[in-house]
Amino acid sequence: MDRREGRRTLPGDGWSVEHDSPRRRYSHRTAALVLLVLMLAVAVVYSPRRCSAASLPIQQEGEDSYYAKAYTILDLPLPELLADIPELQGMEPAAGQEELPAILSKAGASVEQLYRNLVSVAADEEITQEQCGYDGRVKSSQRLRFGYLILVNHDGPAETLQEYRTDAGMKPVESAGVEEGFNATSNFASLWLLFYPDNRFGSNFRYLGQEVSEGRNLYVVAFAERPGKAATEGRVIAQGRSAVLLYQGLAWIDASSFRIVRMRLDLLEPRLDVGLERTTTELRFGEVRVPQATAVLWLPEEVTVTTIYYGQLYRNRHIYSNFRLFVVHSTIKPAAPRETHPQ
């Protein structure tokens, strides 16, 4: 240590620590206070954006702009909407939006209740993957069977719901069919959580009308996710590139139970940067009774995804069955006694 300079030099590491001198201590504190003021100024500038719960971004930076100013299903005049979506033929159009808050509120309560009831389950999944020509004829197809796990964690700092596709040995299967030239699609079990009360701020909604289907009276509600605020998002991976997917679509809500019985999702914007020209997902949800589970679950029964990717038409159909409670059994085996080897 060089006592005259009040400086201790650390050999070999090229930096030093000052101490002892009152003048230096004073200048040190002044510098620290100036730094503190600067840091507070930075914090004040940036904090309002982050503190607003309604503006928390989930999408990656820069991807929001891709969806900015998107003209959506919510903006379409009804005649054009009917032309675009043939499923809406026969719907009794709504006179206004007065009923929308009540429908969303009741559907949200129903979704929340169903989510609270949800437990981790295993199921069988059958996937039919098709490559089609423009004339709709199937050029090639394959049928795959997997296990499907829906793992729910209601505890912990964040509630989680994860889906896995597994092989017969319960090992995760990723990109099913991609190597064979088909499209891999997954993660449908919880799409209805779009209507979860705390997730609703991520979308805009429009009440379209009522429809009778299979003896049920259904409310038809259109939605479009809000760029930068969407509570749910998808992701496409294509040839090493990935892109966030935001959706617009329709939900058919049972007028008596307020359960979401059917959904249709389209891309908010085509993702031409990765060749994704169009994707439509149609889902049917149904009541699932799982042995040993006390409550009735609400899960997808059938999902169809139609995609046009670089001009090629793909269609995947997923059918779920044989739902059962997923329980992990673990056993603790006592350690084997250490063998002693005589020297």
Partner 1 sequence: MDSRSRFSSISLVATVRFGRPRGRSGPSPFLVGAAVITLLLNCGQTRVATAQIPGVVGGGVDAGLPRPAGPSTPTASGARRSEVFDSVALAHTRTFCVDMRNLESWQAAGVKEFLATASQPKEVLHRLPWQPIDDCGKADAVARIYFVLVDVREETSGAKLPATPVSFGQASRPVLLLYDKASIRLFYRAEGEVFKGNAVKVLASPFALLVRDLEKINGQTRRSPHFAR
Site for partner 1 in 78-107 (CB under 8 A): 80, 83-87
Kindly list the distances between the CA atom of residue 139 and the CA atoms of 135, 161, 177, 191, 229, in Å, as whole numbers in the listed order: 10, 36, 15, 30, 40
Q: Is the dihedral of CA 32, 38, 42, 43 positive or negative?
A: positive
Residue 26 engages partner 1 in binding (rule: CB under 8 A): no
- H or E stretch including 287? strand 276-288
Q: Does 193 bind partner 1 (CB under 8 A)?
A: yes
Which residue's CB is nearer to partner 1, number 37 or number 217?
37
* Longest CA pairwise span in the chain (Å): 94
| Residue 58 lies near partner 1 (rule: CB under 8 A) | yes
Distance CA 47, CA 36 (A): 16
Cβ 41 to partner 1 shortest distance, Å:
10
- The residues in 227-246 that bind partner 1, with binding defined as CB under 8 A, are 231-239, 242, 245
Among 24, 25, 143, 284, binds partner 1 (CB under 8 A): 25
Q: Among residues 159, 234, 221, which one has the least CA distance to residue 195?
A: 221
Told to check if 62 binds partner 1 by CB under 8 A, we report no
Q: Which is nearer to partner 1, 100 or 238 (CB)?
A: 238
Q: Does 46 bind partner 1 (CB under 8 A)?
A: yes
Q: Which of 8, 24, 50, 145 binds partner 1 (CB under 8 A)?
A: 50
Rg (CA), the chain: 28
Nearer to partner 1, 101 or 197 (CB): 197
DSSP string, 15-74: -EEE-S-HHHHHHHHHHHHHHHHHHHHHHHHHHHHHH-GGG---SPTTTHHHHTT---TT
203 binds partner 1 (CB under 8 A): no
267 binds partner 1 (CB under 8 A): yes
Contact range with partner 1 by CB under 8 A, out of 52-60, 118-126, 209-217, 326-334? 52-60
Task: Give 126-179 as a 3 state SS string.
Answer: EEEEEEECCCCCEEEEEEEEEEEEEEEECCCCCCEEEEEEECCCCCECCCCCCC
* Residues between 116 and 175 with contacts to partner 1, criterion CB under 8 A: 131-132, 134-137, 157-163, 165, 174-175
For residue 103 the two structure tokens come to 């429908």
Residue from 273, 284, 321, 325 binding partner 1 (CB under 8 A): 273
Position among 196, 207, 258, 323 found at the interface with partner 1 (CB under 8 A):
196
